[in-house]
Amino acid sequence: MEKFPYIIVGQGIAGTTLAFELEKAGLPFKIITDNTRFGASKVAAGIYNPLVFKRLVKSWMVDDVLPVALDTYSSLEKHFNTKFIHSLNILKPLSKQEHKLWEEKKEEDMLNNYISGVEAGTHYAGLHSFYGFGKVTQSGYLDTSLMLQTAFGHFVENKDLIQERFKYEDVSIEEGRVFWKKSQVAAIIFCKGSYSIYNPYFSFVKFTPTKGELLLIKAPELPQTHIYPKKVYILPVGKSRFKVGSTYDWDDFTNTPTVKGKESIEERLQDLISVPYTVEKHWAGVRPTVHDRRPVLGFHPEIPGIAMFNGMGTKGVMLAPYFAKEMVKIIQNRNYKIPPEVAVSRFWKS
């Protein structure tokens, strides 16, 4: 029998970053993916933002995860001679109350590395008038589609990728050993995004998948100098095109765009910009969010060869590279301790 040491199921942002870390560690693997099925990673805007605007606090673990993410994507850029990561400051429109909060917090040691300025009375071309603006640095976006496509080609060329739909009935467990299609494997690591709600091995994990929709618009009169967030985000992606999103739907788990979603985005978009635009594309995807909004990683509490690396949610671009490294440490040393708040065991009740 042919032996596959590690099987990665899924090639979204989680599966891809994990595969690169296994490759770097010299650990052989195979990725199983049905490339015709589009998960959230393939249609995501890929924005990385160090702040949470609702409470104006730092994003969870940002001081740790962001440097690792930027270093990882920069290394991949050099390896493939392709631009994936784009640094772009955020220009956040503020109400009078929000402006006061930003003024109070901008000098705090925890935030001054990320807030580069707070303005009042300034007008920016293409936007409606607002009381003020907050400026955020160390932000930008990852071209997730290009990165995943490039990685896909790399893994195919190296014969590390199997293009087929993963079937749970192909897995068997005999005397503590795990087999896929009658071949023994060291581990099967599930990185299936929102499809994890159908995973029989991890039905105890509290996933709350969230459908999101976004538009691609063309707006020649809107400056391409910042990311603009105000009930929607507007992300410039070149040639007067902008990605605009998003929506949150906890009932519809399909990847089908809806009229309702499009109307919701456009209504909020028109409250933010004052220039004409045309809609060129409309996408939808389902985010693999978890009940407590933290990643899920580690081995099954009772089946040592079954593992999960998932639940990156809306912050996946920032979180995935850091926790991919943590997952490899777990693979290399089953006694390695990770924070309880990200361990898959936090949902387990024996």
pLDDT for res 175: 85
> What average pLDDT does this structure show over 309-315?
91
* Residues 282 and 217 grouped into a single domain: yes
Tell me what pLDDT residue 41 has: 64
d(Cα 160, Cα 20) in Å, to the nearest integer?
Answer: 11
Q: Quick check: 38 and 144 in contact, CB under 8 A?
A: no
CA distance 147 to 149: 6
In a domain, residue 337? The reply is yes
- The number of folded domains in the chain is 3
Statement to judge: residues 118 and 223 lie in one domain? no
Q: Tell me what pLDDT residue 49 has.
A: 97
42 has pLDDT over 70: no
Residues 93 and 112 in one domain: yes
CATH of the domain at 232: 3.30.9.10
277 and 315 belong to one structural domain: no
pLDDT grade, residue 148 (50/70/90)? Answer: very high
Q: Tell me how far the alpha carbon of residue 102 is from its chain's centroid.
A: 27
Looking at residue 2, its pLDDT comes to: 47
Do 218 and 283 share a domain, yes or no? yes
The last residue of a domain, from among 287, 309, 332: 287
Task: Say whether both 224 and 274 belong to one domain.
Answer: yes
Q: Tell me the CATH number at 32.
A: 3.50.50.60
Q: Is 201 in the same domain as 220?
A: no
Report yes or no on 29 lying in a domain. Answer: yes
Q: What domain range is 134 assigned to?
A: 89-138
Please name every residue paired with 115 in a beta bridge, in sequence order, or none if there are none. Answer: 136
pLDDT tens for 191-243 read 998 888 889 999 999 988 889 999 999 999 999 999 999 999 999 999 999 99
113 three-state secondary structure: coil
Question: What is the pLDDT averaged over residues 4-28?
Answer: 95
Percent of the chain whose pLDDT exceeds 90 = 81
Residue 256 lies in a domain: yes
**What would the mean pLDDT of 147-167 be, rounded to a whole number?**
96
Q: For residue 38, what pLDDT is reported?
A: 52
Q: What is the pLDDT of residue 1?
A: 39
pLDDT digits (tens, 9 = 90+) for 75-133: 999 999 999 999 999 999 999 999 999 999 988 878 989 999 999 999 999 999 999 99
Please compute the mean of the pLDDT values over residues 325-336 and round it to a whole number: 95
Same domain, 202 and 316: yes
Q: Compute the mean pLDDT over every residue in the chain, rounded to the nearest whole number.
A: 93
pLDDT over 80 (residue 39): no
pLDDT > 80? residue 46: yes
What pLDDT does 108 receive?
Answer: 80
Kindly give the pairing relationship between strand 30-33 and strand 161-163.
Answer: parallel
**pLDDT tens digits, residue range 320-330?**
999 999 999 99
Verify that 314 and 260 share a domain, yes or no: no
In a domain, 334, yes or no: yes
Output the pTM of the full model. Answer: 0.93
Q: How many CA atoms lie within 13 A of 144 on its CB side?
A: 27
Residue 61 lies in a domain: no
Round to whole Å and give the CA distance between 53 and 51.
6
